[in-house]
Chains A and B, each alone.
Chain A
């Protein structure tokens, strides 16, 4: 009965020698191909991916999956006996039309490939794209877009092309980082005494500030009301949040505790005697 059914399928011709039976066999090949691709990718992810870096493992997984799918498709076309040469000619013309229409899609795809090859940052790294005003942790470089988890917890999808053509600042690729702040002291105050008390307070209350390189103090500017001192401290890359947002508070406390004036702009108006 099954043979009769298959016989009947082979007699139904869809187009140019392509019968329903060959399409059915091709469908089975594609189905089996997809199952094999998924199984191989699953095995790879389970047994080999943990030994590789996260992004390399992900890229290898994609290559394996789509490689098997392409092979299955080629088997499918050869089993059905479909002549693709006509399709290729038509596809060439169609491709130009589609190419113009999907320029940005192709651009994102190619940018994604280059991003994967160049690896300007690894998965999990904190990055900043100054031109796009984006800062966050790099989650994934995908086929068409990059996913970034912003510091406010939301996830942003950025097209690969935008990332590839942007300036990328990696915030976690070096072991340490530097944070700065500027504070103004009154002209009457002793600069050395001020930097000394700030240094002591930083040393006492900021455990993540490095002993070496030592905190640095620079006279930034002599402004109308104050002598501005720039304070530069180094800290482990992971501990920016423990240092940068707290630095000014610690500096102010040190100056307040030691009676060093932080001036504010003042204007003295002299009225002429009538």
Chain B
């Protein structure tokens, strides 16, 4: 369906139908799919750290269809949490009863899906930015929340994502408090946020972050907001996990 490579050095996200073989190039990663027999293909992924993933894929027809798409950043180095900790490179100051909308970068991972009979089966997932795929703790060691950590840059629009490394996320900030506050970090469960792609760009469902008062506590209430877009929705790679939203304390 799609061609093998785009104009850039790296392959695009999307559907690939393979009859004989296919090579896909991404930052620090290379994927090779080769025909081994009439109904058997081999899948080989090689990364910059010389990690090799090999799989054999038997198929019913004489061709193989895969989809390469951005997925939520929850699998590397291991699946430990559903929360993301975005530390904004530049804190945003919100004066009393004000609101602002920003676009920030949020890390992604790459999912490889096997497409057959209308199903999309998870075949493989990886990150093209292993050095920056790290965890952080929000809160105290005994009761805090383990999160996937990212140093997030504020950008201008949805078009500013880095291919295969991050996606752009719209954050609607609102301060309902009687005093101004700087927002320097946002912690939210990313499990409900869908990821969309177009060519090699990716975006994630928006979040709404409201600074407000709950009883005597000042909290930062973060919730998901679905976006309407004509970009392609990425299949979901991660397993179902029950998560609940947490209230961040206001620093």
Interface residues of A (CB under 8 A from B): 174-176, 178, 203-204, 207-213, 234-236, 238-239
**Stretch of B98-106, B139-147, B226-234 lying at the A interface:** B139-147
List residues of chain A with CB within 8 A of the CB of B141.
174-176, 178, 213, 234
30 A-B pairs with CB atoms under 8 Å apart are A174-B141, A174-B142, A174-B143, A175-B137, A175-B141, A175-B145, A176-B137, A176-B144, A176-B146, A178-B141, A203-B134, A204-B131, A207-B76, A207-B130, A208-B77, A209-B134, A210-B134, A210-B149, A211-B135, A211-B149, A212-B85, A212-B137, A212-B149, A213-B137, A213-B141, A236-B78, A236-B80, A238-B78, A239-B78, A239-B80
Number of interface residues of B (CB under 8 A): 20
Q: How far is the CA of A174 from the CA of B139 in the complex (A)?
A: 12
Bound-state Cα–Cα, A208 to B141, Å: 15
Q: Determine whether B136 belongs to the interface, using a CB cutoff of 8 Å to chain A.
A: yes
Instruction: List, in ascending order, chain A residues with CB within 8 A of B149's CB.
Output: 210-212
Supply 20 further A-B pairs (C-beta < 8 A) apart from A175-B145, A210-B136, A210-B149.
A174-B142, A174-B143, A175-B137, A176-B137, A176-B144, A176-B146, A178-B141, A203-B131, A203-B134, A207-B133, A210-B134, A210-B137, A212-B136, A212-B149, A213-B137, A234-B137, A236-B80, A238-B78, A239-B78, A239-B80
Interface residues of B in 115-159 (CB under 8 A from A): 130-131, 133-138, 141-146, 149
Closest Cβ neighbor of B49 among chain A residues: A205
**A-B complex: 8 closest residue pairs judged by Cβ atoms:** A207-B77, A212-B136, A211-B149, A211-B136, A175-B146, A211-B134, A174-B142, A236-B80
> For the complex, what is the distance from the CA of A99 to the CA of B126, rounded to whole Å?
63
B residues apposed to A, CB below 8 Å: 76-78, 80, 85, 130-131, 133-138, 141-146, 149
* Residue in B137, B138, B142 whose Cβ sees the most chain A Cβ within 10 Å: B137
Q: How far is the CA of A117 from the CA of B85 in the complex (A)?
A: 37
Which of chain B's residues have a CB closer than 8 A to the CB of A210?
A: 134-137, 149
Contact A208 B144 (CB under 8 A): no
Find chain A residues with CB under 8 A from B131 CB. 203-204
Query: With the chains together, A217 CA to B146 CA distance in Å?
Result: 22
Q: Which residue of B lies closest to A175 (CB)?
A: B146
Min C-beta distance of A250 to chain B, whole Å: 14
Evaluate contact between A175 and B144: CB separation under 8 angstroms.
Answer: yes
Chain B, residue nearest A236 (CB) = B80
Query: Is A208's CB under 8 angstroms from B142's CB?
Result: no
Alpha-carbon distance between A211 and B185 when the two chains are bound, in angstroms: 14
- Please name all residues of chain A whose beta carbon is closer than 8 Å to the beta carbon of B77 when the two chains form the complex: 207-208
Q: Which residues from chain B contact A174 at a C-beta distance below 8 Å? A: 141-143
Q: Which residue of B lies closest to A208 (CB)?
A: B77
Residues of A within 8 A of B135 (CB): 208, 210-211, 235-236
Interchain nearest-CB distance for B147 vs A (Å): 9
- Nearest-neighbour CB distance to chain A for B78, whole angstroms, equals 7
B27 → chain A closest CB, angstroms: 17
Shortest A233–chain B CB gap in Å is: 12
In whole angstroms, how far apart are the Cα atoms of A121 and B126 in the complex? 35
Contacts of A203 in B (CB 8 A): 131, 134
In this complex, which of B78, B143, B145 has the most chain A Cβ atoms within 10 angstroms of its Cβ? Answer: B78
Q: Chain A contacts of B143 at CB under 8 A?
A: 174
Q: Give the distance to chain B from A76, nearest Cβ to Cβ, in Å.
A: 47
Asked whether, in the complex, the Cβ of B137 is within 8 Å of the Cβ of A207, the reply is no
State A234–B138 Cα separation when bound (angstroms): 12
B105 nearest CB across to chain A (Å): 16
CA distance A208 to B138 in the complex (A): 15
- Residues in chain A near residue B134, CB distance under 8 A: 203, 207, 209-211
Q: Give chain B residues whose Cβ lies under 8 Å from the Cβ of A207.
A: 76-77, 130, 133-134
Interface centre among A174, A175, A210, A235 (most CB of B within 10 A): A175
Contacts of B133 in A (CB 8 A): 207
A175 to B142, CA, bound (A): 7
Q: Can you name the residue of chain A whose Cβ is closest to the Cβ of B76?
A: A207
- Taking CB atoms, residues of chain B closer than 8 Å to A212 are 85, 136-138, 149
Shortest distance from the beta carbon of A214 to any chain B beta carbon, whole Å: 9
